[in-house]
Structure 1
Amino acid sequence: MLAEKLFKLKSFQRQYEALLILSVSGIIPDLIWETQKENLVAAIDWNNVLGIASALSYSDQNEHLDAALRIAQTAISEDGTSVTQKEGAAVILQSLTNKPAIKLAIERGRISKDFEEHLPLPLKLQKLRSDFENSITLGDQTISLNKFQTRVHNSYLENDAISISAPTSSGKSFILCSIIIEELLKGNRNIVYLVPTRALIAQVEDDLRKLLDKYRLSSVNLTTVPQYDTIQYDSNVFVFTQERLHWFLIEHKEFRLDIIIVDEAHKIEDPYRGILLQQKLEEVISANPKVKVYFSSPFTSNPELLLESISIEGKSEPINTQFIAVNQNLIYCTQVPRKSSLWELNLSLVDKVIKLGTLQMTDRPTSELKKMAFMSVAFSGNSTGNIIYCNGAAQAEDIALVLYDKLSGEPPASQRVKLLIDLVKKTVHSDYRLAKVLERKVAFHYGNMPLLIRQEIENLFKDGEIKYLICTSTLLEGVNLPAKSIFIRKPKRGSRTHLNQSDFWNLAGRAGRWGKEFSGNIICIEPADWQNPPNPEKKKQKIIRALDIIEAKQGELIEYIETDTPRAIAETRQDLEFAFGYYYAKFIQGSLTERTNLEPRLIELFNNVRERVQLPNEIITRNPGISPLAQQDLLEYFRSKTTEAESLIPVYPEDENAHDEYVKLVGRIGKTLSAYPAQLNTSRSILLMNWMSGKPLSYIITAAYNAYQRNEKYAATKNIHVVIREVMDNVETFARFQFAKDSSCYVDILRFFLNECAREDLLENIPQLNLWLEFGVSQKTHLSLLSLGLTRNTVVELSNYITNTNMTKEEALKWITEQDLAVFGLSPIILEDIRLKTTKLVN
């Protein structure tokens, strides 16, 4: 192949190495260059390398495309190249269908906006052909696509199921959202967009809301709340996690679904959520045989596995692309011996390491945190677009404080940042460290933070008003937060699990803002000290289903069932709990076969379980993450309390006896369905009451802090910073996940028991706990406001002025439009949240 021959030419490789050093060194402001710039420029024949890059741009090999993009962007950026050479580089970008890079070059004045007029006729015709082949029409608008997106769209037209694998920043989300719009423009559709975590819901919802407005699809119901009003919509788009899809399917069994999109689909390998995802997909496809399924995952080697995991009518196709949107520079930083403030920078390639030069820090980095903070300032020259990856919320705050002190001379923050500071102090706590560090354009970001605050941090970072953003593993969940540079040192997922190569490159994929930068930097600090040093060879991640891992270690599941699924083990091995639920559901449906050596033994065990479990199959399948044996234990407990049936019903969180009742409720569940530590029952009951009743997070935090201060045992250790993180974590992991799941099962079994003992009169008193816990509110009006897309912060603030607790979505929208919101004294950020989410609905 011509491209491969040209790429391997020694003369080209010599020039390309010089060009690489030139392009990377040139974006590090204070670098002390190892090789002088004039020597690098002298080694490059621009006409020669541009000619070769033109040939490489038509290759399908990753290294060829990366080189073509690198050459084109460097030629455009260098002052020493001629106008003709820059325009030739722009033609290469056109061949790569990289229009954002061309737009960036025009914005920076590197090429003229009318450069195409100067091109020879054959190149003009080539461009017209490329534009035609890589564009689609949505409504009355023509949308430009890159090669990867075009391939996805063509496959969508021909297939009923596709599985996409492409690097971060290749435009996966854009083309999937465009397909949704195309389908809605064709006619009435019911679409589910699945994301693995709550952190991604708001991002996808916001992208779709903007597109619905752009294409005047105001009649489409877009919601993230798994509660469907009696008012029917012609078309619906639901943005759910797998848990919310589960709850939706329970309540709306007959609801027709036309399309299901699974974003971050490689998460099917997650120990327990991956099993639930597999189960829900099977249910949707079984109930909707003609449903179309689209999977999306980052840079995986076997996207076809996802198609093999489902049984769907019609044609399917995996799409595994090498599309390169931005160049990425993998840079190793190591301390120069005997000179602690001088650091050597090396560009790491697959076959070699190239020394770029050194960086002089202004202070000695005497701790691990300072190494990360100081390097981010020294490397960036205190410019914008810097993400620092850290191993947990506490470390994120500590690094932010170091940066705050380091940037003592930073000019005052903008008015937008000051508004966020005010909101943080009001909605979290006046002493929350985020409010302090924001003053110097530093912020931290982790999944447990309130959504509205997290969204505003992301917006300010993208707009350059926050320079340094310290992030946790939320970035690995697919949150779209690209940066100019990402700084990493001994990365872990949480405090224990070291990142593997797949996770590292998924994280590193955030380096490089397509359309805002020509390249992105991955700065690895002291990589030789990492447990899993970064490998410059980007190997595609192999998807392994969580169920396949269970089957490979089937002895663990067998032993778990044989020992009656001990609750203490279930607390730490949710994968076994969900696997039991998955296989048992197939067993009672008659679809568990003997195709593997695991299933015959399971059938034998499940025959015994079925004899012991006296609950209807429907209840068992409604609660897939809880052992049927544990569910039976709860039923037997209820039966021992027949004369006290009414006392088993959860009360409303505002009930005068709510505290005592929830202590008892947590205790019952903790002894049957789960294994809660009894000593936490009281504090957890207070958390649940406050959360469900819609209390502001600041109130919950202050209440917890005051309680600790009254206890001599904790007064010294539970400072306000520890309590803030602890409360946020408890809300997310216990209230919104574990107790929401367990209490939903409790309510199902309670309903069965009340029917069994002829106390149907009590059924209407049972509250809808799972939704209340998931969303942190307990009124229909609250849920209706949330379904408009408003954040909980905004809903809590508005609810102070709403007396009707039973509004529908339409009534809630009408109430908002009739108000003079300025009189309520709300934060401008909250007012903007309301404006963005409701103005388009009204129009």
Structure 2
Amino acid sequence: MTWLEIMVNRALNDPYLNELTRKLELKYAHNFLYQKDDIVLTEKEFDDVLRFADILSRSSGAEGRNKAYKIISLLYDAYKDDIQFQYYANSILTKLGNFASLNLAVGNSETVDTLETALEKEIKRVYQKVPFNDLVFTDPQYQLFEAMKDSNHFSFSGPTSFGKSFIMDAFIQYIITERHGIDNIVILVPTRALINQVTARLKKTITDENYKVLAHPVVPTIYKNRMLKYVFVFTPERLISYLGEKENPVINYMFVDEAHKIIAEKDSRSPLYYHAILLAERKSIKLYFASPNIPNADVFLQLFEKSVDEQMIIRESPVSQNRFFVDYVEGNGRMFTETGDDIVFDDLGKREHGYVSKLLRKLGCDCKNIVYCNTVADTIDFALQFSKNLPEQSDSRIDSLIELIKTYVHKDYFLIDCLKKGVAFHFGRLPQRIRQRIENLFEEKVIDYMFCTSTLLEGVNLPAKNIFIFSNAIGNSKFSDVDFWNLAGRAGRLSKELSGNIICVRIEDKKNRWDTPHKDLEVVRNKKIDDVQPIVIKGQKNFYTNLERSLRAKDFTRANYSQTEKEVWDHYANIVFTHQASKTDSILMSNFLRKNTDGKKLLERMDKENHIPLHILEQCSNIKVSYQNNIWEKISGAEKAFPEEITTQSCQAVLEKMYDYYNWGEEESKGRNPMVKQRTRLQYFAVLMYSWMKSTPLNMMIINIINYYKKKGEIWDKNETIPFDPNNRNQINLIINNLISDIDNVLRFKIKNYFLNYHLIVSEKIGKESAGTNWAEYVEYGTTDSVIIELQNIGIPRHLSMMIKDDYAEFLTFEEGVLVDINAEALIENIDCDKYKDELEELRAIFL
């Protein structure tokens, strides 16, 4: 150990440093909670704590460096104009390589440079410069970037604020440049919500004209035969679809964003993630995994049987967080300190009229705030309550969004009420077009308060100064350590603040509202995240026994497993059989055979009885093999997959057939949000599906569904049927949110997958030409029009594609009925900016 590390260790273990740090945190807490600057450091204390920070910043370990940064962040508000603070902050942040925070904390730092600091700063600016722009990597970012350059596969994890996307974008630019643009690249994201965000970001960062950024698993005709290369942004199902088409360009690199989703036990999509990546790995694609806060990042390399040496866990954070708990049930609060001793405040948490709104206004004044509420209902209710007594905002950007919501969604949508007050809510059921605008307004600080659900945990990039956490659960399940810190880690924006605040709030004595504080708060207090244990590797909860029972169509080992757990096991069981059919070696397959003595015989027998080709099994891994084989037996040569004519009646007939073929009464009728709790629900989906496939605009679809409920006379709400009232805004908003959710989660995911499977089986049995049209494509794109489909494939959203097709088709060039060119500049110049103001801005962002 060097003398410098000995000094660092002595500093870390010095009781005096703990005493000083605690006093700094108390000072910060008084400023934040009471707006009182009544805790004063003596001149000696100020000098000593800066000297401690200077020593710690020279550490090679994350603990010392994080503590040095923490001290600077705690001192900043009170001492940012002090020349001594500026000297030390300049030196310390330079040693940490945190130039984004340096520019914020010191401004023109050259005025306080020593010779040592100036030299170190210049060296880092040269050697740690981000390729292709003027930014500078932090020290750990630079170490990671250099390690990735020398690897064929890699896994890394770091704090939420570390800059995973920043690293991936820089590395993609490096690959494109260093390898002279010969590679096709995929970024794999967990949900559609992230596709637009990542695609928009990449279009700004990738400057090579030979590269196109695409999000659909079809290379558009317009780009074929032009010697182009691609960066694809796919969800797992889109990756599987892409890999299933042999003529698609070969993929060379894949970056798996939010990699912890692969092993999430309570996410029914995790098997799909695993299956998609394994299919890619079989094609020798180089894999790179990025995840937040996972302490054993090598687990993803283990899962796909890669060398675990090429991994890095980053524990150094470029932003620090201050942790608070406000308890309105017990009437007190506390700050969780770096030393482990809570600072208790007995005069917080008084329950009086509007107490929650008062807390948010007091602590969130003049900064960006995220309020986590768990459920959609709570998110909307809290947003409405909070915004109710606020003054109306006068801002043209908010007014423009309100007008868009009125025309594109509905005039009675509750989001309008909130936006008028500078408040918004954010969850998966918002239309993507609206959600993107809200995110932009929040980023620009036009909106100061964002109420949200766990959509934020999917990787949506929305950092804020304050994170208020009203619930310690996702759905009915308590936060895991990873989930909590993925959410809480968004407190503090690099280059905007040196620190952020995590405020856990117990509003009432209710389940999953911090109802057992002593136990629930451990994850907040200790900042400790345990190693993740993938169920595929460890086999918890009789995992492999239950896979065998799924394959044998027997009951699981317990009756009270959740519906999500059952769906996960059924899906993994299907994947095991797919590995049998493809003779694939995998950890999943080897563990299944090792833990089930009759597993090999079972799989061999199923393989002999199976009629479904491998390419269909791989594309439809979430559908039980037994159902697929039953359909194979029933198909006759005269039967087309789907009717040529699309009507509400033909939609109903197709759904009725799918209900029987795939046993939806059993498979899709259970859990918290079943697709079809009752068979009569198919009438609703027939109306919805018909409107969607017929290119109906969203606002008209909403009107159609409202009319459907008018005729029906009743609506399902909170587990009961109630009379439908078209003048009841709560019911109208319920319809809107459910409709948008049903389009994304039911039509475009569940029903699309069933339609795809059915069409593939019919095509295989009687021939593709005889099978006829593929409704799966229509359900995915929301249209039967090939031009609108092709425009979506090149990255134009559905609503813009319909506008171009209807009003500006003269700027499209066709050859033999196929779109081969689009004159984007002329299109943008000729759009009626009065009629299509918002659409024009969206097209400019896409093309320019």
TM-score (normalizing by structure 1) = 0.88
CA distance, structure 1, for counterparts of residue 145 and residue 642 of structure 2: 52
2:515 to 502, 521, 529: 529
Query: What's the offset of the Cα at 1:793?
Result: 3.4
- Which residue is equivalent to 2:167? 175
Structure-2 change in CA distance of 1:356 and 1:209 (3 Å): farther
CA distance, structure 2, for counterparts of residue 600 and residue 782 of structure 1: 53
CA contact (8 A) 2:79 2:85 kept: no
Query: What's the offset of the Cα at 1:815?
Result: 5.8
Structure-2 change in CA distance of 1:730 and 1:565 (3 Å): farther
Query: What's the offset of the Cα at 1:459?
Result: 0.8
Structure-2 change in CA distance of 1:479 and 1:601 (3 Å): farther
Provide, for residues 511-558 of structure 1, a one-character-per-residue CA deviation record: whole Å limited to 9, x for no partner: 111111121111111275247613211123533335346574222222
CA distance, structure 1, for counterparts of residue 690 and residue 232 of structure 2: 28
CA contact (8 A) 1:326 1:518 kept: yes
CA distance, structure 2, for counterparts of residue 275 and residue 172 of structure 1: 24
1:625 to 622, 627, 630: 622
Structure-2 change in CA distance of 1:80 and 1:413 (3 Å): closer
CA contact (8 A) 1:162 1:317 kept: yes
Provide, for residues 772-793 of structure 1, a one-character-per-residue CA deviation record: whole Å limited to 9, x for no partner: 3233233332233323433333
CA distance, structure 2, for counterparts of residue 491 and residue 826 of structure 1: 45
Mean Cα deviation higher: 477-486 or 269-278 = 269-278
- Which residue is equivalent to 1:716? 723
Please say if 1:741 is aligned against 2:741.
Answer: no
Structure-2 change in CA distance of 1:816 and 1:728 (3 Å): farther
CA distance, structure 2, for counterparts of residue 658 and residue 444 of structure 1: 36
- Which residue is equivalent to 1:10? 15
- Which residue is equivalent to 1:503? 483
CA contact (8 A) 2:713 2:724 kept: no
CA distance, structure 2, for counterparts of residue 771 and residue 104 of structure 1: 50
Alignment of structure 1 residues 21-40 onto 2, 5 Å = 21-28=26-33, 31=34, 37-40=37-40
- Which residue is equivalent to 1:561? 551
- Which residue is equivalent to 1:355? 344
- Which residue is equivalent to 1:610? 607
Mean Cα deviation higher: 541-550 or 47-56 = 541-550
- Which residue is equivalent to 2:360? 376
CA contact (8 A) 1:194 1:263 kept: yes
Alignment of structure 1 residues 246-645 onto 2, 5 Å = 246-252=240-246, 255-270=249-264, 271-288=267-284, 291-311=285-305, 317-335=310-328, 344-349=333-338, 351-355=340-344, 358=347, 364-365=352-353, 372-381=356-365, 383-407=366-390, 410-494=391-475, 496-526=476-506, 529-530=515-516, 533-535=520-522, 536-548=525-537, 552-563=542-553, 573-591=566-584, 596-598=593-595, 600-639=597-636, 642-643=637-638, 645=639
- Which residue is equivalent to 1:685? 686
- Which residue is equivalent to 1:84? 84
CA contact (8 A) 2:813 2:821 kept: no
Structure-2 change in CA distance of 1:203 and 1:547 (3 Å): same
- Which residue is equivalent to 1:704? 705
SS at match of 1:823: coil
Please say if 1:818 is aligned against 2:827.
Answer: yes
- Which residue is equivalent to 1:108? none
Query: What's the offset of the Cα at 1:733?
Result: 1.5
Query: What's the offset of the Cα at 1:762?
Result: 2.3
Query: What's the offset of the Cα at 1:98?
Result: 1.3
Question: Residue type of the partner of 1:19?
Answer: L
Question: Residue type of the partner of 1:520?
Answer: G
Please say if 1:726 is aligned against 2:738.
Answer: yes
Query: What's the offset of the Cα at 1:578?
Result: 1.7
Provide, for residues 586-633 of structure 1, a one-character-per-residue CA deviation record: whole Å limited to 9, x for no partner: 111223565552354332222222233223333222311111111011
The RMSD of aligned alpha carbons is 2.9
Question: Residue type of the partner of 1:279?
Answer: H
CA distance, structure 2, for counterparts of residue 380 and residue 616 of structure 1: 58
Structure-2 change in CA distance of 1:120 and 1:275 (3 Å): same
- Which residue is equivalent to 1:794? 800
CA distance, structure 1, for counterparts of residue 398 and residue 627 of structure 2: 50
Query: Mind listing any 5+ residue stretches in structure 2 that lack a counterpart?
Result: 1-5, 507-512, 666-677, 716-721, 726-730
Structure-2 change in CA distance of 1:392 and 1:812 (3 Å): farther
Percent identity, aligned pairs only? 24
CA distance, structure 1, for counterparts of residue 92 and residue 751 of structure 2: 55
- Which residue is equivalent to 2:718? none
Provide, for residues 43-86 of structure 1, a one-character-per-residue CA deviation record: whole Å limited to 9, x for no partner: 86222211211121233544433321122234443248631331
CA distance, structure 2, for counterparts of residue 810 and residue 86 of structure 1: 60
CA contact (8 A) 1:325 1:514 kept: yes
Provide, for residues 688-741 of structure 1, a one-character-per-residue CA deviation record: whole Å limited to 9, x for no partner: 121222212211111111211222333735720111111112112210110111
Query: What's the offset of the Cα at 1:392?
Result: 1.7
- Which residue is equivalent to 2:145? 153
Structure-2 change in CA distance of 1:633 and 1:693 (3 Å): same
1:770 to 763, 773, 776: 776
Alignment of structure 1 residues 181-196 onto 2, 5 Å = 181-186=173-178, 187=180, 188-196=182-190
Query: What's the offset of the Cα at 1:336?
Result: 8.2
Question: Residue type of the partner of 1:388?
Answer: V
CA contact (8 A) 1:630 1:673 kept: yes
Structure-2 change in CA distance of 1:626 and 1:2 (3 Å): same
Provide, for residues 191-219 of structure 1, a one-character-per-residue CA deviation record: whole Å limited to 9, x for no partner: 0000111111111111111112xxx3122
Provide, for residues 782-824 of structure 1, a one-character-per-residue CA deviation record: whole Å limited to 9, x for no partner: 2333234333333344343255899699746326633544426
CA contact (8 A) 2:255 2:288 kept: yes
Query: What's the offset of the Cα at 1:334?
Result: 2.2
Structure-2 change in CA distance of 1:20 and 1:315 (3 Å): closer
CA contact (8 A) 1:344 1:357 kept: yes
Query: What's the offset of the Cα at 1:333?
Result: 0.7
Structure-2 change in CA distance of 1:177 and 1:240 (3 Å): same
Mean Cα deviation higher: 657-666 or 236-245 = 657-666
CA distance, structure 1, for counterparts of residue 169 and residue 122 of structure 2: 25
Provide, for residues 280-338 of structure 1, a one-character-per-residue CA deviation record: whole Å limited to 9, x for no partner: 222222223xx3211100111111111122245x895110111111110110112386x
CA distance, structure 1, for counterparts of residue 623 and residue 185 of structure 2: 28
SS at match of 1:480: coil
CA contact (8 A) 2:293 2:485 kept: no
- Which residue is equivalent to 2:673? none
Alignment of structure 1 residues 61-80 onto 2, 5 Å = 61-79=61-79
Question: Residue type of the partner of 2:801?
Answer: V
SS at match of 1:525: strand
Question: Residue type of the partner of 2:103?
Answer: K
- Which residue is equivalent to 2:675? none
CA contact (8 A) 2:253 2:287 kept: yes
Query: What's the offset of the Cα at 1:468?
Result: 0.9
Question: Residue type of the partner of 1:485?
Answer: N
SS at match of 2:649: helix
Query: What's the offset of the Cα at 1:253?
Result: 5.7
Query: Mind listing any 5+ residue stretches in structure 1 that lack a counterpart?
Result: 106-110
- Which residue is equivalent to 2:670? none
